Structure formats: structure tokens, C-alpha cells
Structure 1
Amino acid sequence: MSPALVSPALVAVAHGSRDPRSAAAVTALAEEVRRQRPDLDVRVSFLDLSAPRLPDVLATVAADGHRSAVVVPLLLGRAYHARVDVPEAVSAAGQRLPGLDIAIAPVLGGHDGLGTAALRRLAAVAGPLDDPGLGVVLAAIGSSHRPANAAVAEVAATWQGRFGWSCATAAFATATTPTVTDAVAALRARGARRVAVAQWVLAPGLLPDRIVRDAIAAGAHVADPLGPDPAVAEAVLDRYASVKRSLAASAA
């Protein structure tokens, strides 16, 4: 058997978008994962709006001779897609593919690599981050799942304590508040001499464009999405590895 078939296939699954820049960024991230681990079979899939879809990729993985696969959700929080869409898609695929063992890894959110990537992007537009006069908005898409939004706010608070900024807060493009516009204004009212917006977003798209547009209109620097940063690829591989270890322990 080929060495690539001995290890479970790594099937990365993103939400999907009508904006082709989103799929391009996800594909570039997968290329970085392959660069770091050329021995792994790494596939890209999407839940909706983009192709190929997750069920089709899992079917191809099985047809190519794999006996197991680890689905790694390229999601930054445990909101609806992570809690419902991915498990349902995997369950349905598993019923159609009885010869393929499919496991789901944790979402990327909570891994230190995301913060490393976001801060790297932020420093690229804001300059040195050890500035007590800096105010930072950490902008995410937003969710109806309140714990997912709270996790973004927790990251912002952690950064503020780490760097000693004037202030930091979360903001959201949709579903909840504050907006980027309101968050930038609030930080200035609290004494921030300059304000920068970091994107807690994996890839560009229509809603991230709203973050960029509002940040620019408010006169704030705005960082790029996380994209194919090496630290994000490390997060993908760590999530995969954690599940692979569990599978090996179960089989022992």
C-alpha cells in the first residue's frame, strides 16, 4: 500500500463562498499544509456554495483506496456549521461509505496558531504592537451562537493584556454587535491614539469585505485575513494529529 494511504486522508472542509477569492485562499492553505507534510494526502472540500463538496471528496478518498479519513473543519468557532452541518454531512457520507472510517477533528478556533497568524497580519499594517496608545478591534463574521462570539472577545482581551494596549474589543460583520464602525469609535473615545483592525477571518469574501470597508471608512488600519499563513497550516495539522492519535489508541 502507498505510504500516503497508510495514514488517514486529511480532508479540510471550509464553509464555501460565491466569492472565488475564498476558495482560492482555502486552496492556498491546503498547499501550505502539503508543503509542511508532503507525506500526507490532503484534500480540500466545502460545505456549500463552492466545489468540491465534502461528501464528494470523501467518496473520492474511499475510491482512491483510503480506509480512514480525518475531516478538519476550517472554522474559527464552534457555531452552527461546526455543531450541525459538518457532523450531518459526515454521518451521511459514512452511511454511503461503510469501508471508510471518518473522524472529525476539532475546529481551528482555540489553537495558538490562529493568534500567531492574526498578530503577524496586524503588525504588517499597524507596525510595532508594543504601543500602549494602540487600540485594536478584532473583527469576526459574527454568529447567532453567543459562545462563538464570546470566544472572539476573549482573544481580544488576552491580546490587550499581553501587549498593554490602550484598549481592545471584538466586532462583527453580521448577526451581532458591535459593528466595526462602532468599535473603532468606542476605542477612540476610550483614549486610543491610533486604531487597527485585525481580521479573525480565514479567507476574503463578501462579509470580510464589509469589515475592510468599514475599517477604512473609520480611518483605521485593517489587516488581511489569516489565509495560508504557516501557523494556520500548523493548526490544521495539529487538529489532524490529535484525532489520528485517538484513532491509533482506539485500535490498539
Structure 2
Amino acid sequence: MSAGPALVAVAHGSRDPRSAATVTALMDLVRRLRPGLDVRVAFLDLSAPRLPDVLAAVDATHDRAVVVPLLLGHAFHARVDVPGAVVQAAQRHPGLAIRTAAVLGGHPRLEDAALRRLAAVAGPLDDPGLGVVVAAIGSSHAPANAAVQRIAAGWAARSGWAGACAAFATAAGPTVPEAVATLRAAGARRVAVAPWILAPGLLPDRIARDARAAGAVVAAPLGADTGVAATVLARYDAVAGTDICAVSRSADVRLSSTG
């Protein structure tokens, strides 16, 4: 058995092959940052390998694992899908102690990554004429949308820009074109869209099309950025050294709020 817990990074999954490729590239970067750490990739749906299969494979070589959700918000997948899959895996593999880390969202390195992506397309960000849209997929869980709005509000307060606001592709408003129009009405001479999204896919493509149609430049998804990789490791480290045996061998495997 390995001395340390395996890191099992779980993403949502997508029919778009670019999504899985981006997650794989991100985990390759995590491996480069932490040589010797056993890093596995898993998906909840639509892509392979699935989380239960990966945890079964980990059980053959480890007695501990940390599941790190590659999710930016604490919405349905983080609150229900991941904990449910982990509980089932703990029941099937009683010799494998499993702990689930916090989602990536909320860590400052993640915002740094988004700002780097933004600067790559918008140029210097110290421009009082700049308006920024923080664009997310959107959720029926209002607190998840509110977290994106807080990011935009924080950027607006610190930046000296003409403004910043959140926008959503589904389930909530405003839309990207509506947000772009709001920022222009507030005095923004140019507008850039920062996707609060990990990887490419159908809805990120819609956000990009809507942004360009509204005359805004759009950054790439967060992807395989060093700051994102460092956030994954920070979430892993926050729970990897804790006593997880009793947690995983009961049915009480919950999403950690650590970090």
C-alpha cells in the first residue's frame, strides 16, 4: 500500500472531447508540481473513467484517497453527486478511507488564474474604461450564482474599472449580452468577458459567441493554469493529513468545508 493518499480529481464530464483533454492537461500539471503524488482523473458523467471505477482501482494500491471536485461552485454536483458517489464507494470498499475536499471555487489562486486569462485577451487591466463580465454556466442553486456575483463585485471594488458584473449561460440572469450592455451604459469604453469555467464545452462556446456578438473580447476557460493546479493541491493538502479512517468507514462522508 502507498504511504500517502491518492488524489482523485473528479470533473463533471462532457460529450465535448476538449473538456476531458483540458482536465487531463490540468492533472498533468498537478503531477509536475507534486512529483511522486498518485494523481487520478475521474468524471461524474458523460466521460470516462467514472468516479466509482477510479476509486475501485485506487483501492488496489492505497488505503486512503482524497477526492478533489474540479468544480467552481457549491451547487448540485458538489452538494449531491460527489458526496453520494463517495458514500457508495466507501461502502463498497471498506478498506479504502476516503475524504472529499472542498470545491476549487473560493480559493484566491483561482481568481488569479481567471485574471491572467483575462489579461491575455484584454491587455493591461489597469484601465478605468474597462468593463468586465464574469461569466459562469449558472445554477438553480442561488448561493452558487451569488458566489460568482461576489467575485465580480470584489473585482469591481478593487480594480478601478468602469465596472464588473456576473452573467450566466443558463438558469439565472443576466445573460452575457445583457451584462455587456449594462457595463457600456455605465461608461465602459471596452468590455471583456472572463469565463468562470474550468474547461471548454457547449455552454462555454455559447458564452464566447454571445460575447463576441456583443462586441466584447472573451478569455479562455481557466484550464491547465498553474494557479488552478496549485488550488487543486491546496484542497488536497487541506484534508490529506487528517484522520479519515473513521469518516470513510461510516456512511458519513461529507463535503469538507476546509479551505
2:106 to 101, 106, 110: 110
Per-residue Cα deviation, 1:147-175 (whole angstroms, up to 9, x for no partner): 10000010011111111111100000111
Q: 2:97·2:245 contact (CA, 8 Å) conserved in 1?
A: no
How has the CA–CA distance of structure 1 residues 249 and 23 changed in structure 2, closer, same or farther, with 3 Å as cutoff?
closer
**Superposition TM-score, scaled by structure 2 size:** 0.93
Q: Percent identity?
A: 72
1:76 lines up with 2:72 in the alignment: yes
How has the CA–CA distance of structure 1 residues 159 and 249 changed in structure 2, closer, same or farther, with 3 Å as cutoff?
farther
* Structure with greater helix percent: 1
Per-residue Cα deviation, 1:107-142 (whole angstroms, up to 9, x for no partner): 001001110110000000000001111000000000
SS state of the match for residue 241, structure 2? Answer: helix
Give the equivalent residue in structure 2 for 1:100: 96
Give the equivalent residue in structure 1 for 2:184: 188
Residue identity in the other structure for 1:89? A
SS state of the match for residue 247, structure 1? Answer: coil
2:13 to 12, 16, 23: 16
Give the equivalent residue in structure 2 for 1:123: 119
Instruction: Tell me how far 1:248 sits from its aligned partner.
Output: 7.6
1:25 lines up with 2:27 in the alignment: no
CA distance in 1, matches of 2:117, 2:243: 35
Residue identity in the other structure for 2:17? P
CA-atom RMSD, angstroms?
1.4
Give the equivalent residue in structure 1 for 2:250: none
Q: 2:99·2:244 contact (CA, 8 Å) conserved in 1?
A: no
SS state of the match for residue 246, structure 1? Answer: coil
Per-residue Cα deviation, 1:6-62 (whole angstroms, up to 9, x for no partner): 110000000000000000000000000000001100000000000000000000001
1:230 to 214, 220, 226: 226
Instruction: Tell me how far 1:249 sits from its aligned partner.
Output: 11
1:151 lines up with 2:151 in the alignment: no
Give the equivalent residue in structure 2 for 1:165: 161
**Superposition TM-score, scaled by structure 1 size:** 0.96
SS state of the match for residue 185, structure 1? Answer: helix
Instruction: Tell me how far 1:245 sits from its aligned partner.
Output: 2.8
1:216 to 212, 217, 220: 212
List gaps (5 residues or longer) in structure 2: 248-259
CA distance in 2, matches of 1:238, 1:162: 25
